[in-house]
Structure 1
Amino acid sequence: MNAEPVSAEADIEHPDVILCPGGPMLLRGDHLVQDADGSTHRTERPVSAVCRCGKSSRPPWCDGTHKVIPDRDKP
């Protein structure tokens, strides 16, 4: 059975990392995330949200805090 090559266009349509404007970084699939203390966390969900605003109460994971901070302070 021959596997079909994956085109560059297919990679663009299904990225592993998505940066949400003013919000988190979404990771699709299996990733390792390092927090500010240097601890490494493996993603366990099909899609994981990593905080980019620095205000989450559950770092490195997004808790939605970016929704209540002023736009000028968002990533």
Structure 2
Amino acid sequence: MLELVKDKNTKQSFTDEECNWLLRDELSPRIFEAGLICRVDDRADPVLVLSPTLICGPEELRFIAEVLTDALQHAAEEFQKR
């Protein structure tokens, strides 16, 4: 599970509007299109929930890390433009 915060130093959370944009409009589609399935949850602080298979190896974990890194970097860049 990855908890998403607006500022990692202060742990400031996103507003409801920002959270909706981040999870539903930006991250979820980008991650899915890259071939990774995850669940987003914003009942409290926004989180990405991952459930890799128990037989997940280094190659699969590397893929997950690459997809998430790309999606989160892109989201951060787009968020700065808002």
User: TM over 0.5: same fold?
Assistant: no
Identify the structure with the greater strand proportion: 1
State the TM-score, normalizing by the size of structure 1. 0.29
- Tell which has more relative contact order, 1 or 2 (C-alpha 8 A, sep 6+): 2
State the TM-score, normalizing by the size of structure 2. 0.27
Q: Which of these two proteins has the greater Rg computed from alpha carbons?
A: 1
